Amino acid sequence: MSCFAGLTASAPVASGLADRGKGRGRVYANITETVGNTPCVKISEEICPKGRTIYAKLEYFNPLSSVKDRLACAIIEDAEKKGQLKPGDTVIEATSGNTGIAVAMLCAQRGYKCVITMAEPFSIERRKLMRFMGAKVIITPKAGKGTGMVAKAKELAEKHGWFLCRQFENEANAEFHYKTTGQEILNDFEGMKLDYYVLGYGTGGTFAGAGKAIKEKRPDVKICLGEPADAPLVASGTKTERNADGSATGSHPAFKPHPIQGWTPDFIPQIAEKGILDTGYDEFVPIPGQAAIDMSQALAKTQGIFTGISGGASMYAAVEMAKKAPEGSVLVAMLADTGERYLSTPLFASISADMNEEELAISKSTPNFQL
């Protein structure tokens, strides 16, 4: 049935549908101009605890379907302004996938060459997407973890004279979130109640930048930081040892592998550490890996929201926070990317490509075109 079924020319249109058909009132010079201005969508009571309101900021509305599109714009645009990049240069970065995909997009649009280093465990589809965008993808051994892929990127950059993004230390990352993500949330909730801002950390750019912007304008908003229960780096209280450039000297002792790809590498990024020191957080939620997977699946099946494991993790943290928050509380959670990045991961392990018994029964309920 059409979404417009039952409407007539004179029938009132629900306020949420009133801008359909209006377009954006502008056209775009290139794909990077479409980054940002992602929507905040209300979560129903099938997930949200009664008496509270949760919104999800859907970062998969960015052109390459993740919050890391912002990071790529931040670092490449900043490097161009500083004269660190010129036509034909090569850009290199270490990534769990989303940053690499976003950097590959920027490089394709700008005409730079792109090389990505990525640790072996991250999903196969991420490798293919980066190569599809024209990047060269260098896989590093699983045993080296995140610090290994970062060290490999640095080694290659030094060897070949390539521009290294340094997403975990580059302050342009957090600054971009301060100027965009944080301002978007403030504008979207202007004149409305907002009590909690809920998210995890990968580089810490969203946490440090958007968190700072929100706290400056609305200091009563509490920041709730999530972290994998299997990798309690921040919760441990143990700092990451650093090289002179801010990168980690090695793997954090509290790190264990976890399924929330894109969150919490095996070190506390310098940007995240600065965010903790400068802005801080008010609440903390440890997130079991299976709970993040279950919540991602629940968002798809009850809300029609298709996000990855990290999005499930953020929403799990928001729900847990809402359970203990005062009645009437309003929360907004960051959902970092699309579920399509996880087809080969545990998120889809229970999803078969073949028909199950119920589907076969439906097929056999009519006589024709049966397998």
305-328 pLDDT tens trace: 999 999 999 999 999 999 999 999
Q: How confident is the model at residue 49 (pLDDT cuts 50, 70, 90)?
A: very high
Match 């309101």 to its residue by tokens. Answer: 53
Query: What is the pLDDT, as a whole number, of residue 10?
Result: 41
Pairing of strands 90-94, 113-119: parallel
Q: Can you tell me the distance from the alpha carbon of 159 to that of 165, in angstroms, rounded to the nearest whole number?
A: 15
- Our answer to whether residue 310 is catalytic in this structure is yes
- The number of beta carbons lying within 10 Å of the beta carbon of residue 277 is 9
Q: Of 28, 332, 334, 366, which Cα lies nearest the Cα of 205?
A: 334
* 41-45-49 Cα angle (round to 5): 105
Please, what are the domains in the chain? Answer: 31-63+181-348 (3.40.50.1100), 67-164 (3.40.50.1100)
What's the token pair of residue 211?
A: 């968190």
Query: Does residue 242 come out as left (phi exceeding 0), alpha (psi in the -120 to 50 range) or beta?
Result: beta
State how far the Cα of 117 lies from the Cα of 146, in Å rounded to an integer: 10
In this prediction, residues 30-35 reach a mean pLDDT of: 98
pTM beyond 0.95: the answer is: no
pLDDT at 123: 83
> Is 2 annotated in the active site?
no
In this predicted structure, the answer to whether residue 14 has a pLDDT above a threshold of 70 is: no
Give, as one character, the DSSP assignment of residue 344: T
Which is the catalytic residue, given 65, 66, 310, 314?
310
Q: State the pLDDT confidence band at 6, using cuts at 50, 70 and 90.
A: very low
Confidence band for 96, pLDDT divided at 50, 70 and 90? confident
CA atoms within 13 A on the CB side of 224: 25
**CA neighbor of 261 nearest in space, from 346, 171, 351:** 346
Alpha carbon distance 254, 266 (integer Å): 8
Cα gap 116→131, rounded to integer Å: 9
Predicted confidence at residue 16, as pLDDT, reads: 79
Q: What is the pLDDT of residue 18?
A: 87
Residues in the chain, total: 371
**Chain Cα centroid distance, residue 163:** 24
pLDDT of res. 122: 84
The one-letter amino acid code at 210 reads A
What does the mean pLDDT of the chain come to?
94
Catalytic residue, chosen from 68, 152, 154, 215, is: 68
What average pLDDT does this structure show over 82-87?
A: 96
